Amino acid sequence: MLVQQLLLGSGMVALCVAIHIAAMIILLGVLKRHAGAWLKSNYYVGATSTMVVIVLGLLAAHTIEIWLWAALYIHLGEFPNMTDSLYFSTVTFTTLGYGDIVLSERWQLLSSLEAAGGILLFGLSTGLAVAAVSRIMVAHEVPEKNKQHG
């Protein structure tokens, strides 16, 4: 049973990583097409809009991943309804871990793999957000430097 949990959990983590990378690529494409214009029209509104798009896009990816884990738990018969399964999956994925609802002993290792995957994906999300803030700041600084030397 241990091997089955490891294989199933690792497969789920891999699927979530693939979804997350796809979401990040889509977000970067949207930003590449639109962020420049947003920043030129009004820097503060553009910077805020850019970050809102990034945060909401990443949140959407995390939400899809949480729903996939919840669907797996339902499929395995771990919860009687999607509400409990989503609650458990969200608490686990975010590593909040209240412990008020738990998996059966048969599948309890899955929750550890979900938590490990979730924390790694939040790290990827944080990296993208930091990179975006850095680019926004650089985009704002370049015109200022040109004004001083021009």
DSSP of 115-135: HHHHHHHHHHHHHHHHHHHHH
Query: Given a cut of 80, is residue 149 above it in pLDDT?
Result: no
What is the domain partition of the chain in residue ranges? 2-149
Q: What is the mean pLDDT of residues 103-115?
A: 96
Residue 67 pLDDT class (50, 70, 90 cuts): very high
> In percent, how much of the chain has pLDDT > 90?
72
Q: What Å distances lie between residue 107 and 6, 114, 121, CA to CA?
A: 10, 12, 22
Type of residue numbered 58: L
pLDDT at 50: 86
Type of residue numbered 77: G
And the tokens for 12?
């789920």
Q: Which of 134, 130, 128, 127 is nearest to 27 (CA)?
A: 128
pLDDT at 81: 97
Query: Given a cut of 80, is residue 52 above it in pLDDT?
Result: yes
pTM for the full predicted model? 0.88
Query: Given a cut of 70, is residue 120 above it in pLDDT?
Result: yes
By the 10 Å C-beta count (0-12 exposed, 13-18 middle, 19+ buried), 18 is classed as: exposed
By the 10 Å C-beta count (0-12 exposed, 13-18 middle, 19+ buried), 117 is classed as: buried
Q: Which of 73, 63, 83 is nearest to 19 (CA)?
A: 63
- Please state the separation of Cα 108 from the chain's center in Å: 23
**What's 101's DSSP letter?**
S
Pick the CATH number of 2-149 from 3.40.50.720, 2.20.25.90, 3.40.50.2300, 1.10.287.70: 1.10.287.70
